[in-house]
Structure 1
Amino acid sequence: MTAPHLFSPLPLGPVSLPNRMVMAPMTRARTSQPGNVPNALMASYYAQRASAGLIVTEATQVSPQGQGYSFTPGIHSEAQVQGWRGVTDAVHRAGGRIVLQLWHVGRMSHESFHAGGLPVAPSSLSPDAQVWVVGEDGVGRMVDCPVPRAMTGADIRAVIEDFRRGAANAMRAGFDGVEIHGANGYLVDQFLRTTSNHRSDAYGGAIANRIRFAEEVVAAVAGEVGADRTGIRLAPFITQRNMNCPEIIPTILQLAQRLDAAGVAYIHLAEADWDDAPHIPEDFRHALRAAYKGRVIVAGKYDQARAERILGQGLADLVAFGRPFVANPDLPARFAAGLPLAGFDSQRLFGGDARGYTDYAAAA
């Protein structure tokens, strides 16, 4: 048998993918206000990129409490559901497939999103990080996150219900599935790590306890949409935001075994994408494959050659591309034809209008 490559088709649960190129989730902050409502501009943006084997949307908060950045979309109001329906209809008309990334930021937030109150987290520990907030003057700035308040048992149950409701709303909005954001220092990830989770109850301490929240969120979401339409994003080698947990690798691998037992469609492995990021050891990739038999997506500064290599090694089933898809809406066609890639405007990533968003041209 020939090794898989970027243009090999692949079934992902009940969805047939024509290629193995995934558009990675990327926060773009283009919603309509008030209400963080997806709009026609967003529909155009995603539809332009429908040739991806799969689109994963930008992270989308499951509740007002789950918001941590200005103008990010939600999936908790009827207006948001209908806004997202416009996006999914546009993508499907263009022949694409799209899943919604469900998000709760936890402590990666600011008091301005909580009526002057505090964000919530597993424990009252600072992330020592900043979030992007647009002030009353209309200007977006990076601002410090406050120390959060520790979640009660009732808080935990409420957030799990928010994820369930968000998944149900995603199906009403026409998505092909959902991805739980369990990476990059946000709420699910905060429960997984000893550096952010100092709880002494059933959700803290031993690995089995620290993965419990993730398991319960997965069960709630899969109960709504089906495990075969459920994915989760994990980031074992991310260390920023006070997340450098010495136990994260065995924790992730134990969680992967539980996800395998639950029949989750895929794990989306977010690898660090900055220049001096830690190398992902090959033994971890093999250990993940041994623990989890479903599909594995990898993301993190992949180019075409590196993507083909990891697919050929059998260490991933799909490869996600972020910034290349921003500036190259026809990225699969460019790869297929060996065309050069356009660069993106880093000053227009967050907020704004069509500039740096839907005005990138396809190759002639």
Structure 2
Amino acid sequence: MTATSPDTAARAAEILSRPTAINGLTVPNRIAMAPMTRMFSPGGVPGEDVVAYYGRRAAAGVGLIVTEGTYVGHPSAGQSDSVPRFHGEEQLAGWAKVAEAVHAGGGTIVPQLWHIGMVRSQGEPPFPEAPAVGPSGLRIGAAEPTGKAMTQQDIDAVVAAFAQAAADAERIGFDGVEIHGAHGYLVDQFLWAGTNRRTDAYGGDLVARTRFAAEIVAAVRERVSAAFPVIFRFSQWKMDAYDARLAETPEELDALLAPLAAAGVDAFHASTRRYWRPEFDGSDLNLAGWTKKLTGKPVITVGSVGLDGEFGKAFQGQGSAVADLGDLLDRLEREEFDLVAVGRALLQDPEWAKKVLAGRFDELAAFDPAALKTLS
């Protein structure tokens, strides 16, 4: 059941249908598909079902698709042989078909480039012999290292892997790239003091902890054309540490973001669990709003868009109604952010964007966790 009024539905259709730009890319509307790990790519190869999955959502009106996280070409990047990889001839050939299908549907697409770092456990696929690596070899919440603290050679190899993946993305027809710097994975492990205890140039204060991320951005920027968009996703929260924070104040957030913007980020993807929550006391701005205010860059907001409950409660049958989008539209009108990333609602209904852009809110269904178990 939906709480959206006819007036809000008409307003949503108008506001969300406006095009916007990220560097040289024009996105046809304000709806993005959030990256969601699906594990439907045996051997790391996206097959015809994955092609159809993304193509269907582009044809139904999603303006910008950010793919599920894809492992960069470093042996320690992942922990599953069913998560797609963004390296290897067969894998990239599969991704080229995905990009072609999205473009045929009228959408734009960027791969999310991913290294999980210390989330990996020793012996996991796709490369079981590879060690778990991180800035200090620390898992979130661990008091002592359980993996390898990265050497300069390790750092250089990972930076090069991200840069190569970005170059390959442009070569095979993608519209940009997103660097996954959020949720407690490798790049975020460098950003967060809880997992970065280094005493060299990559550790210490907040600005020093941005060095690894900034080097990745700069290396990516060097390998792609000037108009090719580079998006950086970040978050305060981490998996298994939902209360973690990189920045306690706007000034600290500025210190975090400024080196990344200077290195070549064209847009930020500010990941929150609930987009409507203010980020700092004394202001209604969410994390995306503060990011745009501080950097002036285009920003994507995300976090339970269109849903009125938390992710975990949906599995208990709670909080599953389709929420009103009036507040979201107000924020877009104020230019607090530029694009709105939708996750679970697009898993639930591949035609979510089409219905919203046409003002057909009465056709939207509440989120069903069973949608996570299929690829359609």
Matches within 5 A, 1:209-358: 209-226=208-225, 228=227, 229-236=229-236, 238-242=237-241, 245=244, 247-249=246-248, 250-273=251-274, 280-281=279-280, 282=284, 285=287, 287-303=290-306, 304-335=325-356, 336=358, 337-347=360-370, 349=372, 356-358=374-376
CA displacement at 1:128 relative to structure 2: 4.9
Corresponding residue for residue 100 of structure 1: 111
For residue 296 of structure 1, report the CA deviation from its aligned partner.
0.6
Question: Offset of 1:327 from its aligned partner?
Answer: 1.9
Taking the aligned partners of 1:328 and 1:155, their CA distance within structure 2 comes to 41
In 2, distance between residues paired with 1:308 and 1:283?
Answer: 14
SS in 1 for 2:158: helix
Give the percent of matched residue pairs that are identical in Structure 1 and Structure 2.
38
- Higher mean alpha-carbon deviation, 248-257 vs 289-298, is at 248-257
Structure 1 pair 188/10, CA: closer, same or farther in 2 (3 Å)?
same
**Which residue of 2 is the match for residue 29 of structure 1?**
39
Q: Distance in 1 between matches of 2:117 and 2:104?
A: 35
Residue in structure 2 matched with residue 188 of structure 1 by the alignment = 187
Q: Tell me, in whole angstroms, the C-alpha distance in 1 between the residues paired with 2:151 and 2:188.
A: 17
C-alpha offsets along residues 313-343 of structure 1, whole Å, 9 cap, x if unaligned?
3211111000111122122221122233234
Map of 1:134-213 to 2, 5 A cutoff?
Answer: 147-213=146-212
Partner of 2:5: none
8 Å contact kept, 2:159–2:216: yes
Q: Is the 8 A contact 2:76 2:131 kept in 1?
A: no
Q: Could you list the runs of 5+ residues in structure 2 that have no partner in the other structure?
A: 1-10, 307-324
8 Å contact kept, 1:232–1:266 = yes
Q: Structure 1: how far apart are the matches of 2:67 and 2:230?
A: 14
CA distance in 1, matches of 2:246, 2:105: 44
Report the count of equivalent residues. Answer: 331
Secondary structure class of the residue paired with 1:257? helix
Identify which of 118, 133, 137 aligns with 2:131. 118
For 2:103, what is the secondary structure of its paired residue?
helix
1:123-148 deviations in Å (ceiling 9; x for gaps): 1222259xxxxxxxxxxxxxxxx922
User: What is the match of residue 55 of structure 1?
Assistant: 65
The worse-fitting range, judged by mean Cα deviation, of 210-219 and 163-172 is 163-172
Superposed CA deviations along residues 162-188 of structure 1, whole A, max 9, x for unmatched, are 001111111222110100000011111
- The answer to whether the 8 A contact 1:260-1:293 is kept is no
After TM superposition, give the deviation of residue 344 of structure 1 in Å: 4.9
Q: For 1:10 and 1:71, locate their aligned partners in 2 and report how far apart those are by CA, in whole Å.
A: 34
Tell me the alpha carbon deviations over residues 254-294 of structure 1, each in whole angstroms, 9 at most, x when there is no partner.
Answer: 232223334422100110259xx975343564542332111
Q: Secondary structure at the match of 2:16?
A: coil
Residue type at the aligned position of 2:213: A
TM-score, with length taken from structure 1? 0.83
Larger displacement relative to structure 2 (299-308 or 185-194):
299-308
Q: Give the secondary-structure state (helix, strand or coil) at the position aligned to 1:89.
A: helix
TM-score of the two chains, using structure 2 as the length reference: 0.81
Matched-pair contact (CA < 8 Å) for 1:98–1:176: yes
Separation in 2 of the partners of 1:262 and 1:223? 10
Structure 1 residue runs of 5 or longer lacking an equivalent are 130-145, 351-355, 359-364
* In structure 2, distance between residues paired with 1:14 and 1:232: 16
